[in-house]
């Protein structure tokens, strides 16, 4: 597998994890204890922004979808859009109050964060970064 193909698979894997986290395909099925599920009610406590607002749930997901398309097709705007989304995640996280995660959410979150770091490193600080600047619209060869 070429470096470009590996990068494209990583970008699609990140989007797949975000999709699973967004729609919670498995929900909180690991939590069967009533006390454990009550703890999740504290998520968002003392927040400055409403994290359940469509502005903060749907818009970032749509931006991620566009960024993923840009990353897969090695478009320069795609990597900067993805970078901007990651910066927004870091800067805005204190504004959403207390964060309480189920074990499944934590599993997806750790995997996503690790993959996002790898995608950013490859997109900006590896030999693959040159592909974003010089890649033609019909060029599919590896650097």
* Residues 6+ positions from 37 with CB-CB distance below 8 Å: 28, 31
Give the start-to-end residue ranges of the domains of the chain: 3-25+42-126
User: Residue 16's CB: how many other CB atoms inside 10 A?
Assistant: 14
Percent of the chain with pLDDT over 70: 86
Q: Are 113 and 128 in contact, with CB atoms under 8 Å apart?
A: no
pLDDT band at 39, cuts 50/70/90?
Answer: confident
Percent of the chain with pLDDT over 90: 49
**pTM score of the predicted model:** 0.82
Q: What is the pLDDT of residues 71-118, one digit of tens each?
A: 999 999 999 999 999 999 999 888 888 888 777 788 888 999 999 999
Query: In the block, which residue shows the tokens 């750790």?
Result: 110
Q: Are 49 and 57 in contact, with CB atoms under 8 Å apart?
A: no
């Amino acid at each position: 597998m070429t470096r470009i193909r590996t990068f494209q698979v990583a970008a699609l894997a990140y989007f797949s994890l975000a999709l699973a986290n967004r729609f919670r395909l498995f929900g909180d099925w690991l939590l069967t204890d009533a006390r454990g599920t009550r703890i999740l009610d504290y998520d968002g406590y003392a927040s400055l922004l409403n994290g359940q607002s469509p502005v903060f749930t749907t818009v970032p997901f749509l931006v991620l979808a566009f960024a993923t398309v840009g990353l897969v097709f090695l478009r320069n705007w795609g990597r900067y859009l993805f970078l901007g989304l990651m910066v927004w995640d870091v800067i805005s996280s204190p504004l959403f109050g207390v964060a309480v995660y189920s074990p499944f959410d934590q599993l997806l979150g750790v995997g996503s964060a690790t993959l996002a770091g790898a995608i950013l490193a490859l997109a900006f600080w590896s030999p693959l970064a040159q592909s974003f600047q010089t890649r033609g619209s019909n060029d599919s060869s590896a650097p």
